[in-house]
Amino acid sequence: MSLVRGIGNVARRWRELNGMNYWKGLLDPLDVDLRRNIINYGELSQAAYTGLNRERRSRYAGSCLFNRRDFLSRVDVSNPDLYEITKFIYAMCTVSLPDGFMVKSLSKAAWSRQSNWMGFVAVATDEGKEVLGRRDVVVAWRGTIRMVEWMDDLDISLVPASEIVLPGSAINPCVHGGWLSVYTTADPGSPYNQESARHQVLNEVKRIQNLYKNEETSITITGHSLGAALATINAIDIVSNGYNKSCPVSAFVFGSPRVGNPDFQKAFDSTIDLRLLRVRNSPDVVPKWPKLGYNDVGTELLIDTGESPYLKAPGNPLTWHDMECYMHGVAGTQGSSGGFKLLVDRDIALVNKHEDALKNEYSIPSSWWVVQNKGMVKGKDGRWHLADHEDDD
């Protein structure tokens, strides 16, 4: 077995840590094993962002940088051997969205004009099953590019979600139209979205559940920002439509915008076998949006990265919303007692992975995570060309 970092007593306590009792008695002060569990799923959420090709000059902009087999190690997840990625998720959208929502290639030979890579489905390996205590199925949804810069330009109209949430119910659950479009849009002529992101995930979850029907399983959904909104919709969809086959479904979401109306909240919070832990950073503006007509769902874990002595003060909207800063906050929050102490040994250099959050005295460059030479490779002819895509074997 390879060295496992930062998992703690998850194998013994996983039901409790995934919300069997709605995290009662675990949040303030924040239980150390729960910190590790949250960060484990947070890293998978971050991986879905780190793996995105954001270079619009590339013909592969909006796709994944790496193949499924090597993905988790290439994006430097702490324990890449615990999960095997079984499927990449692709999504498209029919409503008008700001440019930061979907990454579009400027190349005339673009891999896709409509679809974007939107995350992955993974299942615990045999090693992972031993460490995690069960065969965990994970769906990780990708977040957006700097959502705080364009969210005020986004239409906040609500649309019915009765097909997804409690089909046949008398109540009227509605969700944000943009989130639902990304989740449900399909195009028979598309090479990547003949099936919607929704059905890609549901069919893969069903396949994995059937494959491991004689084992103890769980389903865990995670995401940050837009990915958190999609994770919220996906989680209730799986349970409402019976794809979990009565195994527990938990969602760990970070910096989530609000998803739906009061009826959506009522449906979500009353659904059996469904739990959601919503991690919110106090200064982050995204979780407070949209305001009118929307309600929060699930159980809230409030952190405040402003308490960290490692981060620049006061920070800014980008660092307050950054996923690595969220995990830093989870590692060190002291809850209502105030203060900050890293009870999980998480490298502080990671908070500068995509932003400029760490104090200069630590001598860590900002936005330091880049593919070597930004994917440029020197050929045998001495000329440089862009090679920023890996096909699956």
Catalytic site positions: 225, 284, 321
| Three-state secondary structure of the chain | CCCCCCCCCHHHHHHHHCCCCCCCCCECCECHHHHHHHHHHHHHHHHHHHCECCCCCCCCCCCECCCCCCHHHHCCCCCHHHEEEEEEEEECCCCCCCCCCCCCCCCCCCCCCCCEEEEEEEEECHHHHHHHCCEEEEEEECCCCCHHHCHHHCCCCEEECCCCCCCCCCCCCEEEHHHHHHHHCCCCCCCCCCCCHHHHHHHHHHHHHHHCCCCCEEEEEEEECHHHHHHHHHHHHHHHCCCCCCCCEEEEEECCCCCECHHHHHHHHCCCCEEEEEEEECCCCHHHCCCCCCECCCEEEEECHHHCCCECCCCCHHHHHCHHHHHHHHHHECHHHCCECCCCCCCHHHHHCCCCCECHHHCCCCCCCCCHHHHEEECCCCCEEECCCCCCC
| C-alpha–C-alpha distance, residues 377 and 393, integer Å | 21
Please name the residues in contact with 172: beta carbons below 8 A apart, sequence gap of 6 or more: 160, 162, 261, 263
Please name the residues in contact with 2: beta carbons below 8 A apart, sequence gap of 6 or more: 79, 81, 127
| C-alpha–C-alpha distance, residues 47 and 31, integer Å | 24
Picking from 181, 174, 177, 156, the residue whose alpha carbon sits closest to that of residue 290 is 156
